[in-house]
Structure 1
């Protein structure tokens, strides 16, 4: 697993975490925002009216209503990215990461408008009588680029696991174990069965379930978040200021947080923004293609609301909870995951400015004198001995304290431990101590620092359960539409079985490994879609103009003017 994680980290370095990917993603959004004259602002009110059904037409082809399509797409985007993803971005990039999540959402509103419109325009009715659409259909039917369509469909199947299934159950299981002491394998098994009961019913059952889960989970989560923010109201303004102040400089060291360079804040903010709202990834168009609508542009306008609700509202609430509570730079006792932990040669202290500067350079990928430890540790009653050479354990990009080495069953370890290139070679050893934390665990701790006290963690657990489970439901549909395109309707049932099995497995998998897989899966799906919509830029503008001409004739006024 460590070797596979290292491979994924390498691929992520070439793709999502590279210097060029955030510029490509934001660049496409900026281009269409200017090219289409800021549709995310001009059409915002009209989008709400479309969702309410004001302009619905009887007899329009499709399987779901506008609201159900929006709910399904939102259930696919509002998930662990809003709870664990924001926390991960802030733990790595500091407050500045939230600013770049906002930018990704604002320009992503236009990107999603374009991809949904074009995908809806070229949707088809498949052999089982349901509608199928998505970027693979406009790539095939309009661009005549079968190879690109196949590549995108394969990437969608991969991403349905990497984005939609595995991270969701992993975060649910971790949260359920933390809050209620339920074994992760039990959570995975029970929810895998529940997932199967929903997705085997197809898009109509999926739409029915998600249209009820999404509003309920949003209310629960918002109430809990406001309980923390209002409790720490004196920190709210400084938190907002830090987001903007650090946006172009990176975040300085604070508490246990060693600091993050601009490149880290920018890259992680854009990546987590993409994971959260999926604008440009090409996933939401698959759900919207099932909507009952004769006008592709009207469905595209509905999709404008997704990044706004998902990132501008829900992710901001999560970010303010974490920042105002101070949890993002506090250390908590936790079990160190191997992919988060590194053992360094020499002793580094937070009280030493020189030490902190060296670690800052090292953790931000810059030239540094810091090196990884090679050798043996001598452990007595779970603790390193004075005879050991100087070493420092880094976990979650912070200096670990009060470290204890344990055997399964909570037994203190005694003996020697081999370390090669900073990695502990004995996989059965549990390493426990105080360090920064990330993902859902960080959000859970932040929610306890409000009016609800320790009960706040249950709000996160319930919210995460609903968020993540609904995301897994929606992504199963994206995957089965991709399988339908690739191999036909008969391939859907085997896919669903494997999807549910993978869902159960991921409950006990390494969290950092899952997030790295998600980061790679997102990019391999996003790049073909961005290329496709750029090639259709002129047709997009013409389609929008035609929509308003028809709208004028039917309703007597142009809502765009």
Structure 2
């Protein structure tokens, strides 16, 4: 069994270190060029149409508001990866890893925009008259690759079982260490809370995330900014390290073992890809339920979500551990606790530990809720609505089992299954580049440059989806 697990781990590490990283980065660059650098040229428009429209009442067709779709998708990415994953990347790749996270995010904006765009174009209504969509729909409808769409849905549905286990275990471990809570109690509480959310469907998930996610993100950023502000004098040296050591090796210091350019590149890219999930095809599932008058308008939230997730939240976490010097004090084996140590330097040991634990609890609960919704939609696509309810129960059971630390051998398949999911989405996405570019050009002409009025946009969507 140990030999088998080691083989799985080696294959997963190889795939994520070389082939998948190359495909995602190269694919993001290709889509960026194909879209004529859309995410950079129209970033001001993106902000105006996303954060600038949060409180606007939308009367377009859809199940939830554009902002609720955004916060639901963000809930599945913002959390442990941003708070814990970034320090791990810095401990293994050095400060330069943060630079490569930024690079991945900037090109990943085009990837996430593209997959949401196609999901909105090819979405449909289910038997409950709710809008559903995602890669499985545009792969089948646009390319006719039914077996690939089935593979995507199947691998994602299965992958979310170990994914929920890992998420719930991270919280059970944190609460046991911080508050001495039995893992069984944590597991039961999480199951009850998550069930209350997911049994209300995407509408209830949207109502929960649009209140909790902004509050959690803003509060976390506020504490990060306080710690960074106290150590403001360290920022010039920190930014110098980030840019210099993205291209040059850095020697060992304290608990830091040193890192070469390849390590900075490898861990920066890996964490960047993991943090925003651009190319994985999960976010479009939530965005497909949004009210919108043009696929591109909702896809703008994809660009903004990558910006918030990686450029803002991951950067804040990275700067906290760099300005406080925690990255030098803590070795790679204890890197997951680095953010706690960084906060403790300015806020005290008790507050730092409790703050991180409490916020991870809220982040992970919303994350699991959205992941379960994603899994249900795959079961619905493959089978029917009854199967979706059945998978919901499987995922909730997985939350409890994961909290206890059970079935850990299943966790070994997480990265491998993610690789299959990603390949099932990113390759079809690149094949549809002409359609992505055409839809984007249409939006630029109709809306950004205002060559036609709003009614023309509405007619375009109605005719296109007929």
**1:194 corresponds to which residue?**
193
- SS of 1:252's equivalent? coil
User: 1:131: Cα distance to partner?
Assistant: 1.2
Q: Check 1:251–1:160 CA distance in 2 against 1; reply closer, same or farther (3 A cut).
A: farther
Q: Check 1:139–1:463 CA distance in 2 against 1; reply closer, same or farther (3 A cut).
A: same
Q: Check 1:15–1:495 CA distance in 2 against 1; reply closer, same or farther (3 A cut).
A: same
Q: Check 1:456–1:158 CA distance in 2 against 1; reply closer, same or farther (3 A cut).
A: same
Q: Which has the higher strand share?
A: 1
Q: Check 1:297–1:55 CA distance in 2 against 1; reply closer, same or farther (3 A cut).
A: farther
- SS of 2:346's equivalent? coil
**1:462 corresponds to which residue?**
358
Q: Check 1:506–1:237 CA distance in 2 against 1; reply closer, same or farther (3 A cut).
A: farther
The superposition leaves residues 474-524 of structure 1 with CA deviations (integer Å, 9 ceiling, x where unpaired) of 111111111111111111111111111111222243999898654333322
**2:86 corresponds to which residue?**
86
The superposition leaves residues 216-239 of structure 1 with CA deviations (integer Å, 9 ceiling, x where unpaired) of 101221122123222333333322
Distance 1:272 1:492 in 2: 31
Distance 2:168 2:379 in 1: 22
**1:211 corresponds to which residue?**
210
The superposition leaves residues 114-140 of structure 1 with CA deviations (integer Å, 9 ceiling, x where unpaired) of 110011110111112211100110000
The superposition leaves residues 458-485 of structure 1 with CA deviations (integer Å, 9 ceiling, x where unpaired) of 2211221121211111111111111111
Q: CA contact under 8 A between 1:105 and 1:277: conserved in structure 2?
A: yes
**1:493 corresponds to which residue?**
389
Distance 1:542 1:49 in 2: 22
Q: CA contact under 8 A between 2:401 and 2:407: conserved in structure 1?
A: no
**2:462 corresponds to which residue?**
none
**1:8 corresponds to which residue?**
8
Which has the larger displacement, 270-279 or 513-522? 513-522
Which has the larger displacement, 112-121 or 183-192? 183-192
Which has the larger displacement, 218-227 or 304-313? 218-227
- Say whether residues 1:183 and 2:182 are aligned partners: yes
1:12-91 mapped onto 2 (5 Å cutoff): 12-17=12-17, 19-51=18-50, 52=53, 58=59, 60-91=60-91
Distance 1:53 1:455 in 2: 33
Distance 2:342 2:409 in 1: 23
Distance 1:212 1:225 in 2: 21
Distance 2:42 2:407 in 1: 39
User: 1:21: Cα distance to partner?
Assistant: 2.2
1:383-462 mapped onto 2 (5 Å cutoff): 397=332, 436-439=333-336, 441-462=337-358
- Say whether residues 1:549 and 2:445 are aligned partners: yes
Distance 1:507 1:243 in 2: 36
Distance 1:244 1:516 in 2: 34
Distance 1:88 1:510 in 2: 24
Distance 2:67 2:361 in 1: 22
Q: Check 1:169–1:184 CA distance in 2 against 1; reply closer, same or farther (3 A cut).
A: same
**1:372 corresponds to which residue?**
none
User: 1:76: Cα distance to partner?
Assistant: 1.2
Q: Check 1:244–1:185 CA distance in 2 against 1; reply closer, same or farther (3 A cut).
A: farther
Q: CA contact under 8 A between 2:341 and 2:349: conserved in structure 1?
A: no
Structure 2 unaligned regions, length at least 5: 458-466
- Would you say how many aligned residue pairs link Structure 1 and Structure 2? 452
Q: CA contact under 8 A between 1:56 and 1:293: conserved in structure 2?
A: no
**1:428 corresponds to which residue?**
none
Distance 1:451 1:49 in 2: 36
Distance 2:233 2:407 in 1: 33
- SS of 1:280's equivalent? coil
Which has the larger displacement, 125-134 or 305-314? 125-134
Distance 2:79 2:338 in 1: 15
User: 1:40: Cα distance to partner?
Assistant: 1.4
Q: CA contact under 8 A between 1:112 and 1:303: conserved in structure 2?
A: yes
Q: CA contact under 8 A between 2:153 and 2:382: conserved in structure 1?
A: yes
**1:303 corresponds to which residue?**
302
Distance 1:317 1:513 in 2: 34
**1:475 corresponds to which residue?**
371
**2:148 corresponds to which residue?**
148
The superposition leaves residues 419-454 of structure 1 with CA deviations (integer Å, 9 ceiling, x where unpaired) of xxxxxxxxxxxxxxxxx4022x22222221114553
Larger Rg: 1
Which has the larger displacement, 153-162 or 100-109? 153-162
**1:169 corresponds to which residue?**
168
The superposition leaves residues 168-221 of structure 1 with CA deviations (integer Å, 9 ceiling, x where unpaired) of 222222222232222333222211221111111111011111111111101221
- Say whether residues 1:528 and 2:424 are aligned partners: yes
Q: Kindly indicate whether structure 1 or structure 2 has the higher relative contact order, using CA contacts under 8 Å at least 6 residues apart.
A: 2
Distance 2:98 2:168 in 1: 24
- SS of 1:521's equivalent? helix
Which has the larger displacement, 230-239 or 138-147? 230-239
1:86-125 mapped onto 2 (5 Å cutoff): 86-125=86-125
Q: CA contact under 8 A between 2:63 and 2:290: conserved in structure 1?
A: yes
Q: CA contact under 8 A between 1:167 and 1:518: conserved in structure 2?
A: no
- Say whether residues 1:134 and 2:30 are aligned partners: no
TM-score (ref. length: structure 2): 0.90
1:211-360 mapped onto 2 (5 Å cutoff): 211-331=210-330
What value does the CA root-mean-square deviation take over the aligned residues?
Answer: 2.5
Distance 1:512 1:95 in 2: 32
